[in-house]
Chains A and B, each alone.
Chain A
Amino acid sequence: MLVLALSDAHIPDRAIDLPDKFKKLLSVPNKISQVVLLDNCTKSYDLLKFVNEVSPNVAIVRGEFDNAQLPTTKKNRIKESIPINTVIRQGNFKIGCCSGYTVVPKGDPLSLLALARQLDVDIMLWGGTHNVEAYTLEGKFFVNPGSCTGAFNSDWPIMSEDEVINKKETTEVDTNKQDEESAVKSEEPKETTSTDKKEKVEISNLDINGSNVPSFCLLDIQDSVCTLYIYIYIEGEVKVDRVVFKKEETQIQP
């Protein structure tokens, strides 16, 4: 079972569209069984149409710029609210989905852990930070798919690439369960010579947007094993990383 997690598209407020290569990757009908839209993905007709074609089974949680209700047709008078938390079930996993904007402090692992406990879930998906993250903590798996468009981020901007890596290392508290294998590891992005060239005054769009590249996650769930594929769009190429999370069999599921 494949679950697609998209977050923070911010179309059309901050971004025009997903990268074409992402769209091409996702345009495989009947492959993906469920889509989770975390935060700020509901304002674009085009995006919703696209998502609906990927899979009609869509779970949505509300981001700060999503409206409280999904617009409905005239016939269907009862308006559906967009919740800020929801739970889906795939395989032996319960997956909590939570909008990043109601977690205080923002993106705090311990706060997320408390919420995961409250929702009684094994995997926690959250968004709002525009930065892709995945780590295990206390036997639970935490995944933030980042922004699927690389939209402008009003959080503290990331200053340099090294600091991003530092940050990830500190948040990945429990890495012993992760088999860090990269399935389709594209070659190390060649050191851009262009950065030297435009050194004069050029400031890249990435820096302005808050240094986040477009990314999304795909969870392949088989019984008690969740294989997470992280897709990142760097310099015109899609890079894929793979992380495996196995559920501890202490709790027996019916």
Chain B
Amino acid sequence: MSYAETLEQALLTVKQQAMQMQRCLQQRKLMDALKHTSIMLTELRNPELSPKQYYELYIMIFDSLSVLSTYLAENHPKHHHLADLYELVQYAGNVVPRLYLMITVGTSYLKCPDSPRDEILKDMIEMCRGVQNPIRGLFLRYYLSQRTKQLLPEDATEFNANFIITNFIEMNKLWVRLQHQGPLREREQRTKERKELQILIGSQLVRLSQIVDDNLSMYKDQILPVVLEQAIQCRDIVSQEYLLDAICQVFPDEFHLATLDILLDATTHLNPDVSINKIVLTLIDRLNGYKDRQEQEQGQEQEENTTSKEVKAADINLFQIFWNYLSTLNEERPDLSLQQFIPLIESVLNLSLRWYPENLQNLNALYKITTQKCQDFGSDIPPNCEYLFQNLLTLQNSESSTLRPSSNFFYKLISQCESFGGLLALQSLPLQKSALNSILDVLLHNEVDFDDENEASSNEGFLIDSKENLCSLLSIFEPLTKLGPPMPSLDRKGSKNVKGTGDHFPADEDDNDDEGSWILDPIQEKLAKLNHVVFQSVVKSSDPIKDIEFEMEVLLTLRNWCYKGGKNIKYTYPAIITNFWKVIRRCHLLATRCDSENTKRHTELIKQNFKYVSRSTNDLFNMCGNSFSDALYKLNIQSASLADQLSLGEIAYDFFSQAFTLFEESLSDSRTQFQALVYMAQSLQKTRSLREENYYDSLIVRCTLHGSKLLKKQDQCRAVYLCSHLWWTTEIALIGEEEGVTTDFYREGKRVLECLQRSLRVADSTMDNIQSSELMIEILNRCLYYFIHGDEHDTHVSVRYINGLIELIKTNLKSLKMEETTTAKTQLAEQRLSELHIDDAQNTAKVSNRFVIGSDGSYIDVPTVNGGRALVSTKLNSMYINEMIQIPIQHFNRTCDYILNQRDVDDRFKVIVI
């Protein structure tokens, strides 16, 4: 008898023979049926079939043999005796059909109650040795295992285990042998075939796990050692990787917990090419999953059986076991590459995070060993390993969602694990940067809630409890403080540039020092935010003074840290200054509200903080020079305002003086100067504590003087009329002042009028007629402001003066209109001109809306479409001279309308002639 040549033919033969066999069975011709079966089984002898093809054939035959088996069992002993048949089939010609028949008959016999089970089983497994061809042998043994599945004796666990183990050992041997069959060049093909067959071996382990059930001692003493020994001794990579993985997957978690050391020890004896980390990762995943399930269970039912299991797990120090393992590996396997070793560490790290979330010493140890490994590695870490370290440092891979490390965790990790910083410092700068960036993101989401005890979030945030911890936290970020601004090219990738939309990109470096330019730097921005987070997280005690002192200490530490950033302090110092201000306000509020007996101490602290602010602004000036002087000027003014609010006139005066010095020495751009001066006037106008020692007088005179010396005439004019407010204090309702009730406002109408007169002179001498007229109208509006505010003898702004001004404006506007025609004639745009003449009134109204002048004299081109933005320019465009001329005319008309409207509510307006 021989087998068919192709799979198709073989399948056909099997089908035919199976049908004939069944027919014979129906006719109770058992001998013929066996003959057909034997022919069918011959197909399984074909050595040319691939594992997949063989499997297809096997499945088909298995089904047919099931039919036969059922028949045999049902007709015993009525029509035949199975013991006889068992003898009979031994005479089949070929070994493969013979053994299949034997197993079929044998297992049918096992179904009968009176059969000699042990002998049959022993005999069958002995006889299977007769097939030594790997594929055929594997399937034959698989057949044996499948057939005996339900038929093993019930009370003989040990016997059954031995039976399966024996089968497993033989199968593994066959499986390994398959690797070495055929020519060397087909090796990879062999490996592929073996992987297709691995499920047959795995099924034996599954069977074992079913047999052993929850019998731990049996697993530990009899099964695991044998299986592991088998795995180790075969020295085969495919087999070792698969078997250990299967062991981890197949047996219950509790077993692994109990036999962890044995299992781990086995991995050290494997073939050096086996990837250990895959095995360990599987194992740790299982253990972490076990922890998850256990916690869920505990949540559902807090019964005694779960607690007893938990005690078992708690007795074992998992980390210690893995730690010992790592140390051994590190010593015994110096050949392990970083790519292999780091994932191992990461797995153990995840284990520690899951099982011992509070234990930072574990992590420290892990970081230490990684550091050591890195140092041993010597040369630069290859780029393809970097992501491994990134994961390790940022803990990004750890736990899908349950255990995302909180800001508090990072705080503790950084402040308590010195090795963390050590490892970080060993990495390349880009890697450090990106790792720190991720950590910063976590830290910035720190939620500290001092008020709500019931909120769950409150225990997630970190609290700054000591200077040492803060220092170690900050020192980690030092590489970031010194970074230069990002390269524009890197930055542009993220978002598209839409002109003028607000998403602006860093300029190139040589523009760095330009006054008024600013490079957005996301990293420095985060560092500045970190200052706030740290400040908000300062731990509070019961002693407010101690708290404030500690806050100041923290701020000084932060300042020293930021100082190392060199020019970058322009990003970070403002945040620190803000926090000094906050401390100042807190001190003041404490002194006035709660703690009046310590006022003296509070005042000292406040003064000290102002000194710190001053030192900070000095640092900024020294480091950043003119590029930052405008902002510095304003920081000084705001510090002055704060001091003034606390009735610290002298300090306020000092800060104002510093601001003036900056103004004189460092602000050069005329626009910046004008705005800065207006801001000074605005701030001075709100001060209340500078009256003593004539501070106020000297400051406002200085301010006005500077105003009158600005570069451009229109700026002079505007600055001076705005400075008139410095002699006309208005109420600040917040501190209880009220117009008409408060009597001690600082008001000198004579000076107000002087300012207005002076600015009018400047307006009159302005050469540009449009600006000149516009300025006069602005002054007129200022006059109306004072006119509303008080009587003539208070404000010195009289009806006569206003009427005179209106006359002057009218004259000016007349000559301006003349300019319209004359210039218009010289204009080339004659078409537009003719249109103007045709449709005079309406068109003028339309045109008039085109431009307005802003409060700094800029020309604003009012958009005509919905959602449009105005073009703002400082230069007059002669193209639109006619429209420009309309600016003062229309402004004057609106002012006149206003005066007319005011007549309804205020009779005094009736004497204003328009």
Asked if B867 contacts A152 (CB within 8 A), the reply is: no
Among B517, B585, B870, point to the contact of A79 (Cβ < 8 A): B517
Residues of A within 8 A of B300 (CB): none
Binds B, one of A89-97, A183-191, A237-245: A89-97
Residues of B within 8 A of A154 (CB): 581, 638, 641-642
Asked if A67 contacts B518 (CB within 8 A), the reply is: yes
B196 interface contact, C-beta 8 A: no
Asked if A152 contacts B578 (CB within 8 A), the reply is: yes
Binds B, one of A23-31, A196-204, A226-234: A196-204
Asked if A13 contacts B506 (CB within 8 A), the reply is: no
Question: CA A112 – CA B872 in complex, angstroms?
Answer: 19
When A and B form their complex, what is the total count of cross-chain residue pairs whose Cβ atoms lie within 8 Å? 271
Among B518, B735, B867, point to the contact of A33 (Cβ < 8 A): B867
B854 interface contact, C-beta 8 A: yes
Asked if A73 contacts B507 (CB within 8 A), the reply is: yes
| A65-95 CB contacts (< 8 Å) to partner B | 65, 67-74, 76, 79-81, 83-91, 94
A102 interface contact, C-beta 8 A: yes
Q: A89-B862, A157-B585, A208-B585 are in contact. Are A45 and B498 (CB under 8 A)?
A: no
Among B451, B508, B518, B858, point to the contact of A43 (Cβ < 8 A): B518
Residues of A within 8 A of B122 (CB): none
Q: A198-B451, A203-B593 are in contact. Are A13 and B578 (CB under 8 A)?
A: yes
Give chain B's interface residue range (CB within 8 Å of chain A): 35 or more
> What is the chain A residue whose CB lies nearest that of B774?
A118
Asked if A159 contacts B735 (CB within 8 A), the reply is: yes
The digit string for A36-74, where 1 denotes a CB below 8 A from any CB of B, is 010000111110110110001111101011011111111
Binds A, one of B129-137, B409-417, B524-532: B524-532
Asked if B532 contacts A105 (CB within 8 A), the reply is: no
Q: Smallest Cβ distance from A204 to chain B, in angstroms?
A: 8
B504 interface contact, C-beta 8 A: yes
> What is the chain A residue whose CB lies nearest that of B446?
A16
Residues of B within 8 A of A15 (CB): 532
Residues of A within 8 A of B854 (CB): 83-86, 118-119
Asked if B518 contacts A85 (CB within 8 A), the reply is: no
Residues of A within 8 A of B834 (CB): none
Asked if A94 contacts B862 (CB within 8 A), the reply is: yes
A108 interface contact, C-beta 8 A: yes
Asked if B497 contacts A104 (CB within 8 A), the reply is: no
B495 interface contact, C-beta 8 A: yes
Asked if B858 contacts A83 (CB within 8 A), the reply is: yes
Question: CA A106 – CA B542 in complex, angstroms?
Answer: 39
Asked if B679 contacts A101 (CB within 8 A), the reply is: yes
Question: CA A60 – CA B869 in complex, angstroms?
Answer: 10
A181 interface contact, C-beta 8 A: no
| B837-890 CB contacts (< 8 Å) to partner A | 846, 849, 852-856, 858, 860, 862-870, 872, 890
Question: CA A13 – CA B571 in complex, angstroms?
Answer: 8
Q: Smallest Cβ distance from B87 to chain A, in angstroms?
A: 83
Asked if A89 contacts B866 (CB within 8 A), the reply is: yes
Question: CA A117 – CA B526 in complex, angstroms?
Answer: 42
Q: A67-B517, A90-B866 are in contact. Are A44 and B507 (CB under 8 A)?
A: no
B765 interface contact, C-beta 8 A: no
Asked if B901 contacts A138 (CB within 8 A), the reply is: yes
The digit string for A174-187, where 1 denotes a CB below 8 A from any CB of B, is 00000000000000
Q: Smallest Cβ distance from A225 to chain B, in angstroms?
A: 15
B28 interface contact, C-beta 8 A: no
Q: A52-B502, A85-B855, A94-B862 are in contact. Are A155 and B641 (CB under 8 A)?
A: yes
Q: Smallest Cβ distance from A203 to chain B, in angstroms?
A: 5
Asked if B855 contacts A90 (CB within 8 A), the reply is: no
Q: A13-B578, A110-B788, A170-B733 are in contact. Are A72 and B501 (CB under 8 A)?
A: no
The digit string for B586-608, where 1 denotes a CB below 8 A from any CB of A, is 10011001110000000000000
B36 interface contact, C-beta 8 A: no
> What is the chain A residue whose CB lies nearest that of B734?
A156
B260 interface contact, C-beta 8 A: no
Q: A104-B685, A201-B590 are in contact. Are A85 and B860 (CB under 8 A)?
A: yes
Among A51, A84, A87, A202, point to the contact of B855 (Cβ < 8 A): A84
B722 interface contact, C-beta 8 A: yes
Residues of A within 8 A of B678 (CB): 101-102, 104
> What is the chain B residue whose CB lies nearest that of A139?
B901
Question: CA A60 – CA B581 in complex, angstroms?
Answer: 27
Q: Smallest Cβ distance from A85 to chain B, in angstroms?
A: 4
Q: Interface majority SS on B: helix, strand, loop or mixed? A: helix
Among A83, A167, A194, point to the contact of B733 (Cβ < 8 A): A167
Q: Smallest Cβ distance from B193 to chain A, in angstroms?
A: 55
Question: CA A86 – CA B732 in complex, angstroms?
Answer: 28
Q: Smallest Cβ distance from B914 to chain A, in angstroms?
A: 15
B519 interface contact, C-beta 8 A: yes
Residues of A within 8 A of B853 (CB): 118
> What is the chain B residue whose CB lies nearest that of A167?
B733
Among B595, B672, B860, point to the contact of A201 (Cβ < 8 A): B595
A144 interface contact, C-beta 8 A: no
Residues of B within 8 A of A86 (CB): 854, 860, 869-870, 872
Among B508, B685, B865, point to the contact of A74 (Cβ < 8 A): B508
Residues of B within 8 A of A101 (CB): 675, 678-679, 682
B544 interface contact, C-beta 8 A: yes
Question: CA A29 – CA B589 in complex, angstroms?
Answer: 43
Residues of A within 8 A of B782 (CB): 114
Q: Smallest Cβ distance from A236 to chain B, in angstroms?
A: 9
Asked if B855 contacts A48 (CB within 8 A), the reply is: no
Question: CA A215 – CA B157 in complex, angstroms?
Answer: 74
A143 interface contact, C-beta 8 A: no
Q: Smallest Cβ distance from A205 to chain B, in angstroms?
A: 8
> What is the chain B residue whose CB lies nearest that of A210?
B585
Q: A68-B515, A74-B508, A118-B853 are in contact. Are A49 and B869 (CB under 8 A)?
A: no
Question: CA A91 – CA B733 in complex, angstroms?
Answer: 36
B126 interface contact, C-beta 8 A: no
Residues of A within 8 A of B506 (CB): 71, 73
Among A57, A67, A81, A208, point to the contact of B501 (Cβ < 8 A): A57
Among A70, A94, A200, point to the contact of B504 (Cβ < 8 A): A70
Question: CA A254 – CA B860 in complex, angstroms?
Answer: 20
B141 interface contact, C-beta 8 A: no
A103 interface contact, C-beta 8 A: yes
> What is the chain B residue whose CB lies nearest that of A80?
B500
Question: CA A42 – CA B671 in complex, angstroms?
Answer: 19
Among A42, A45, A90, A158, point to the contact of B867 (Cβ < 8 A): A90
> What is the chain A residue whose CB lies nearest that of B641?
A154
Q: A12-B529, A155-B686 are in contact. Are A203 and B867 (CB under 8 A)?
A: no
A163 interface contact, C-beta 8 A: yes
Among B498, B525, B789, point to the contact of A12 (Cβ < 8 A): B525
Asked if A203 contacts B590 (CB within 8 A), the reply is: yes
Question: CA A45 – CA B504 in complex, angstroms?
Answer: 8
B89 interface contact, C-beta 8 A: no
Q: A89-B865, A118-B852 are in contact. Are A103 and B872 (CB under 8 A)?
A: no
Question: CA A105 – CA B725 in complex, angstroms?
Answer: 7
Besides A56-B498, A73-B488, A110-B789, 16 other A-B contacts (C-beta < 8 A): A44-B525, A46-B525, A48-B504, A59-B869, A72-B505, A83-B860, A85-B856, A89-B863, A89-B868, A94-B862, A103-B855, A104-B681, A105-B686, A117-B781, A152-B582, A163-B734
- What are 10 pairs between A and B in contact, CB < 8 Å? A14-B574, A16-B532, A48-B502, A48-B520, A69-B518, A71-B504, A105-B725, A158-B734, A200-B594, A208-B586
Query: What 4 A-B pairs have minimum CB-CB distances, sorted nearest first?
Result: A68-B516, A85-B854, A12-B528, A83-B872
